[in-house]
Amino acid sequence: MGENVLKVTDANFDSEVAKSSVPVLVDFWAEWCGPCRLMSPILDEIAPAYKGKVKIGKLNVDENQEAPTKFGVMNIPTMIFFKNGKETERIVGAMSKGDLQKKIDKALAG
């Protein structure tokens, strides 16, 4: 996980995501998930460009089961965009860096 990507857990979900003053993109992932491993370097790469505008975090679903259950995460990778603690966008599956940036930019504008 890159230095600009936040490690999100069930324990810090409330403070880092629900009460965040900036929007947060949370990647629900697992070590054994191939598509998740494809997304990890993309998230590390784009995180610095969104610093101050969007927090990018990763939540390991094997180690943290409360948040994925609460938000009905059935497939991984699932990336959920939160504004003011509320889900505003959901992205399921792997995608290119460009497509992910377009989705983030759209969610920010919306």
Q: Which of 36, 39, 46, 95 is catalytic?
A: 36
Q: What is the pLDDT of residues 16-50, one digit of tens each?
A: 999 999 999 999 999 999 999 999 999 999 999 99
Q: How many domains does the chain have?
A: 1
44 is an active site residue: no
What is the spatial distance between Cα 104 and Cα 89, in angstroms, rounded to a whole number? 9
Q: What is the pLDDT of residues 79-95, one digit of tens each?
A: 999 999 999 999 999 99
Q: What single string gives the DSSP state of each residue in the chain?
A: --TTEEEE-TTTHIIIIIT-SS-EEEEEE-TT-HHHHHHHHHHHHHGGGGTTT-EEEEEETTT--HHHHHTT--SSSEEEEEETTEEEEEEES---HHHHHHHHHHHHH-
pTM of the model: 0.95
26 is an active site residue: no
Residue 86, domain CATH: 3.40.30.10
The pLDDT score that the predictor gives to residue 30 is 98
Query: Which residue segment(s) compose the domain that 46 sits in?
Result: 5-109
